[in-house]
Structure 1
Amino acid sequence: MTEAKRAPLPHDFHPPVASFDVVSEDVAEGAVLQDAQVQSGGNTSPQLRWEGFPAETKSFAVTCFDPDAPTGSGFWHWTVFDIPATVTELPAGAGSGKFEGLPEGAKQARNDYGTKEFGGAAPPAGENHRYVFTVYAVDVESLGIDSDTPPAAVGFNLRFHTIGRAQLVAQYEALAEG
């Protein structure tokens, strides 16, 4: 997939907000995802830690989105919201369907695979996709929605409550068949 054909990143059309830092022991900016973050590998959500967010932050949300998926609307791999403002790190595997590692009160929405967990990278063979891990600083303790809310609707709510944003963009290419 050439750069000219790539979809915009998910926040290109949102109002500007404060930026802050997110780092990971498992994902690096521009790097290739490890097998642990691939659907056919470990299917494990990465460790993420953030700092420098706005002082008025009342909660956080974390998403993983593939803007290059051949759907016309991208692909949501992970959506967690209503993370308490006192939490500034999620351990690797927090996105499991068992909800271990998620802080009390956090909600995990259904991904585009149809499960309430992190769904690893799985681009079509021969395609290189970007995976945008975003941490949102939110101006309310709760978005007022439940875990059955579709990821796009969670994103809609975040659009109006985000006061800061940090992101890591990694990539993964499935080997061409044959």
Structure 2
Amino acid sequence: MLFTVRDYHPDDFDTIWAIDQSCFDPEIAYSRCELRTYVRYPKAFTLIAESAEIKAQSATAPMNNSSAEDRLTTTTPTSASSVLAFIVAESSRGMGHIITIDVRAAARRHHIGSALLETAENRLRTAKCRAVRLETAVDNASALSFYKRHGYDVIKVIPHYYSNGVDALLLEKNLLS
């Protein structure tokens, strides 16, 4: 699957909110207000993975096996159906935080999440973050496996983190090594 990574544009909001709703149970998915707050947060950034196959008119050459930074473009959105995934991350006081990473079900297992995560980590390194943290539900085995493959370690369990009472795992990755 060919795709490019670009910065978020406000026209993407309805699409990324719909993706978030499809990726998480209703009791833990972000409300429109919550997600809008995160994408507007001054210390945060949002990256979009967009299908190069659907977005054929893009002037950027799509890449499949290139580095995450090579896939970063500055194009604006063309259609909701071309958005495959997104990530929201923030940096504060030398620490990065992945707020959410959401990939449409049909786009999973195509290295899209990996490209978004790597691009976000590179941006956090540039912002002088020494590490990045994130939370995932203790019962989300596929997410835990994904993050461990990318060098994240479990730091602790956060009891009753989600509104449905499920605990979260706090994970961290050193960005200096």
Per the shorter chain, which TM-score range? under 0.3
Which has the larger helix fraction? Answer: 2
Give the number of the structure with larger relative contact order, counting CA–CA contacts within 8 Å between residues 6 or more apart.
1
